[in-house]
Amino acid sequence: MQALLSFDQSPPFAAPLRFFLTAPLFAILASLLLLWSGPELFASRWTPAALALTHLITVGFLLQVMLGAMLQILPVVAGANVPWPLAIARLVHLAVGLGALLLAAAFLGNQPLAFRLAAALIGSGVAVFVLAAGHSLLGVSSADSTIRGLKAALIGLSVTVTLGMLLATALDGSFELPLMQVTSIHLGWGLGGWSAVLLAAVAFIVVPMFQMTPAYPEWFARRFAWTMLALLSLWSAADIADWQEPAALLASAAVLMVAAFAGLTLQLQRRSKRARVDATQRYWSMAMLCTLAACAVWLAASAFPAIAERHEWPLLCGVLALNGGLMSATSGMLYKIVPFLVWSHLQNLGRGRVLAPNMNKVIAGKAIDRQMYAHFVALALLLAATLWPGWFVYPAGLALLASNACLLRNVLRAVWFYRGQRLKIEALTPRPATSS
């Protein structure tokens, strides 16, 4: 039995966990909003309910999971320890969580004050996170593709949130802003500069590590993050200057980069050496297939005016990218990150006298599989609802509710498992366990 200490510098368990526990609640709120609004929500991407739902998913669910995951990933992959992790996590979690709620309420009630408060809360929460994470990465070499990607993603997040704050404060007409144009740039940076860059940076490590695949080609991994940021910067400038043709070409190039990442990941997954495909691997495959499909829909709408004129295509593209791509990948990652957190904290609490149980026992495989299938059903119904809202909105809302209730239950199962094991350790060891 090994009697050595391991991860004493990991952030306290409660720091990343709070993000993972509340994220499913926002997706549950989004499903309730879908059930309350009914088919009208899908009349256009610009309906107040569609905008509120989008931000419950992007800020409430995705941003929370991504920030929590980054807090955990930075020390492990970069040796970068965020200062005062618990205090920073509490502050960021509170600001982003309240901000997401206020933002959804602001869209639904068209309340300028709520927009301003939401912008202040989300902006300050993200600023604190970016400063803390940026500080921890100071002096860390960017030779590694993942570390380079994490740094670039922080820039992408800052640009996305700054543009979002501008939009939220300009909506009451207090100053002139080309709203549609800035919205499109905000969305491009949110999906490309933050989400795709972060997802790829994490994928460069976790896909080979957990899915037993060959590594991503060095030439691709090395260039992905900064090429994406360069393309998005040039596209934003061309779009603002109203150079339509160069802007369209640059946007297409950025979309093709994301598609290349998704295609490459699928190709690597086909060469996986894992004896049994697990839920995380299936989740990632679905995420990459949906990302490819979203890119195809976007490119088709750019090339064919007959598609671009239809109001369904942005909704279809949005559901594919957000629910199919990002929610699938982040949910799959939660099933690796949360058991790892539980295992590593128990390992430390046991101090070699009590060994932590196997990671696979933290959340039962069957419970994970059930949640994953519920998510896939919800995704299929949401996609159908974008085309035939009258038929599918209510089943889609119910399925989204069920899949996220299952996700919340699975994260809670991990917490209960941790508490049960901690009590056992406290009973077996003379020194009380203190990790939160």
Partner 1 sequence: MTKKRADVVLDARQMEAPEPMVQTMEALDSLGRSETLLVLLPREPYPLYRALELNGFAWQTERLPDGTVAVLIRHQAP
Residues that bind partner 1 (CB under 8 A): 1-10, 75-79, 144, 205, 208-210, 212, 215, 273-274, 340, 343-344, 359
- Pick 200 or 315: Cβ nearer partner 1: 200
> What is the spatial distance between Cα 68 and Cα 40, in angstroms, rounded to a whole number?
34
Q: How many CA atoms lie within 13 A of 304 on its CB side?
A: 10
Q: How many CA atoms lie within 13 A of 170 on its CB side?
A: 15
- Pick 340 or 376: Cβ nearer partner 1: 340
- For helices 14-37 and 328-350, the axis angle rounded to 10 degrees is 150
Q: Are 184 and 105 in contact (CB under 8 A)?
A: no
The two tokens of residue 42 are 């899908």
The two tokens of residue 323 are 């629910």
Q: What is the CA radius of gyration of the chain?
A: 21
CB of 48 to partner 1, least distance (A): 44
Q: Please report, for residues 5, 197, 305, 378, the alpha-carbon distance to residue 388 in angstroms, rounded to integers and kept in the order given.
A: 56, 33, 21, 15
CB of 390 to partner 1, least distance (A): 46
CB of 344 to partner 1, least distance (A): 7
- Pick 178 or 217: Cβ nearer partner 1: 217
CB of 6 to partner 1, least distance (A): 4
3-class DSSP assignment, residue 353: coil
- Pick 8 or 309: Cβ nearer partner 1: 8
CB of 274 to partner 1, least distance (A): 8
CB of 287 to partner 1, least distance (A): 20
Nearest 5°: CA angle at 94, between 93 and 98? 115
- Pick 6 or 436: Cβ nearer partner 1: 6
> What is the spatial distance between Cα 241 and Cα 234, in angstroms, rounded to a whole number?
11
Q: Are 313 and 302 in contact (CB under 8 A)?
A: no
- Pick 1 or 306: Cβ nearer partner 1: 1
CB of 202 to partner 1, least distance (A): 13
- Pick 149 or 324: Cβ nearer partner 1: 149
Beta carbons within 8 Å of 429's beta carbon, 6+ residues apart: 350, 351, 353, 354
